[in-house]
Amino acid sequence: MTAARRLLRSIPSWQVTLAVALLTLGFLIATQLQTEAPRARYTSNERIPLVETAHELQTQQDGLKQHLLDLRQQIQTIESQGQGSAVLSHDLDSQVRQARTDAGLIALQGQGLVLQLRDSTKPSSPGDNPTDYAIAARDVRTVVEQLWLAGAEAVAVNNERVTVSTAIIDIGGSVLVNAAYLSPPYQVSAIGPAGLFDQLNGSAGFRKFVRTRVEAFGIQVGFAELKDVTIPAYAGVINLRYARPESTGPSPAP
């Protein structure tokens, strides 16, 4: 025993540090290899190019949306400069700006609420469907609907503005909003009156969501009431191919 102690004391401290570091290194390499192993099982020749294509298309989409927002901003700037009849043009410009604000084509900033939805970490019970423990489009839609009913005036999911044309759908275990692929966790942001969360939390619909999804399956819902929430502008298609407007709205001032 004494000999062993003497031997330990004889080892320089830097060698002990290096040994600990190498031990951790080995552990991390083993963990990394184990993490990669199950994924490799699902990886097939057809999936790899599909994943790459999806990533590429999503990146393209982000660029296209930014381009569209830039063009709309330039149009707005020119329109606000008011060519021709100054009074008529100014009045029309303010109507266009108001309509764009109503439509969600202009970003909005104000007091509000951010809810974060995460998959459950609870192990699924025997006989349960494992997908019940993950966030689905229906969950996101329910939260958005309950926020509208609680008085929200603008809502976004992971920075995708919810507009008149927004669909929230499932593709496998993922959620698409405005046809944009969103990665979990899902952050549902809303601007609304003070006490928006109290209103939401007191509603029968939200309580049912908590009972059936949070309490039953362990879906995680976090929230933060913020003085400053930004809901981005909608960057998508507003062209109508089948619907024709009946009028151009309120007449401009003479």
The phi, psi pair for 60, rounded to 5°, reads: -60, -45
**Contact status: 105 vs other proteins (CB under 8 A):** yes
Tell me which residue of 113, 117, 120 sits closest to 137, measured CA to CA. Answer: 117
Cβ(182)–Cβ(176) below 8 Å: yes
Residue 36, SS3 per DSSP: helix
Lay out the site mask for other proteins across 28-67 (x = CB under 8 A, - = otherwise): xx-xx--xx--x--x-x-xx--xx-xxx-xx-xx--xx-x
**Contact status: 87 vs other proteins (CB under 8 A):** no
Kindly report the CA angle at 62 between 119 and 115, in degrees rounded to 5?
30
Among 11, 85, 202, 222, binds other proteins (CB under 8 A): 85
234-253: which residues touch other proteins (CB under 8 A)?
A: 235-249
What secondary structure letter does DSSP report for 132?
Answer: G
Among 117, 136, 191, 200, binds other proteins (CB under 8 A): 191
129-188: which residues touch other proteins (CB under 8 A)?
A: 138, 141-142, 145, 148-149, 152-155, 162-169, 171-174, 176, 178-181, 183-184
12-31: which residues touch other proteins (CB under 8 A)?
A: 12-15, 17-18, 21-22, 24-25, 28-29, 31
Cβ(188)–Cβ(155) below 8 Å: yes
194-233: which residues touch other proteins (CB under 8 A)?
A: 205, 230-231, 233
**What CA–CA distance (Å, rounded) separates 198 from 105?**
28
